[in-house]
Amino acid sequence: MSGSRVLRRVLVANRGEIAVRVIRTCRRLGIETVLTVSDADAWSLPARLADRVIRIGPAAAAASYLNVDAVVGAAIAASVDAVHPGYGFLSENARLARACAAAGVVFIGPSPQTLEATGDKLAARDHAVAAGLSVLPGGHVTPAGGKAAADTVNEAADPRAAVPAAEVASRIGYPCWSRRAGGGGGRGLRVVRDPAELAHAVAVASAEAAAAFGDPRVYLERYVEHGRHVEVQLLGDGEHVIHLGDRDCSVQRRYQKLIEEAPAPGLGDDLRERLRAAAVALGERLRYRGAGTVEFLVDADRREFYFLEVNARVQVEHPVTEAVNRQSTSSPSSSRSPKAGPCG
């Protein structure tokens, strides 16, 4: 990896389990840690483990852990070499990544360009297709009689790509499902089996996405009845990308994962290798840096798979992959050259 930098002091911009794991890994690597905390976490386990603690705001996450200026200000005040965002909060925030770069601080994660490409699900689909991956038939839609959300939310998006939902549904067939263009956590997902349900489903999905993420854009895709949710763990340094195997997360409740199993059972060697190769191909196109996950929907009947999205961060379920590979995905060195061997 060109331009590599020795990290001696890292700011951990998170709390709870992931903060503990990062701090312990840094300690093992001889790296000093600085932890940002809200008032509610001043006496937490991560705060007791870190070498230094900086308060960045009150208990409310919006005024502390989600405050980009406060996090970057703490990084500058503590003269850290890097910021590790963990998962959730600002982990996929391109503004934080840019602010770190402007301050001369390493952001342990993807580049701002990659975060923008993966954070917009429509843009991520385009990158997946360009990398040779299959996507479910579908497209960006507008509610019946509504304007393309791209006109008001994302000027970079092409409003011509948004067409009436009924037109897309007619082309791809039923059942279909609505998905939000931005954000995550299962918000905006609605399965539609009857044309009479479509307008309401898209309107509700758009409203949920707008309320949760400030982005009402919605797209429709063909719904796979007997699908499995399989994801591939990636590590990259911006030049090279490797995979650390796959996980099955098909057991879910309300689109929230309940059980993760690695490696994913019952795929067969050919399908497994194609899944992993596809994930690496997309990571290489994105010049991916850090730990990330490419999610796929596997059609169990046809033995085919389709790209769903990229989680451009270490995930809550990363310990499952760590247990199988004995390799840390929360280490500051997980954004260094994966050709160098184990990273923590």
Q: How many angstroms separate the CA atoms of 244 and 264, rounded?
A: 12
- Supply 80's token pair: 């850290």
46: cis peptide before it, omega within 30°?
no
55 is catalytic: no
In terms of phi and psi (left: phi > 0; alpha: psi -120 to 50; beta: otherwise), the region of 255 is left
Q: How many angstroms separate the CA atoms of 342 and 49, rounded?
A: 24
- Supply 244's token pair: 């650390």
DSSP string, 207-218: HHHHHHHS---E
- Supply 121's token pair: 């699900």
Exactly one of 171, 313, 326, 336 is catalytic; which is it? 313
Burial letters 113-137, b for 16+ CB under 10 A, else e: ebbbbbbbbbbbbebbeebebebbe
Which active-site residues does the annotation give? 313
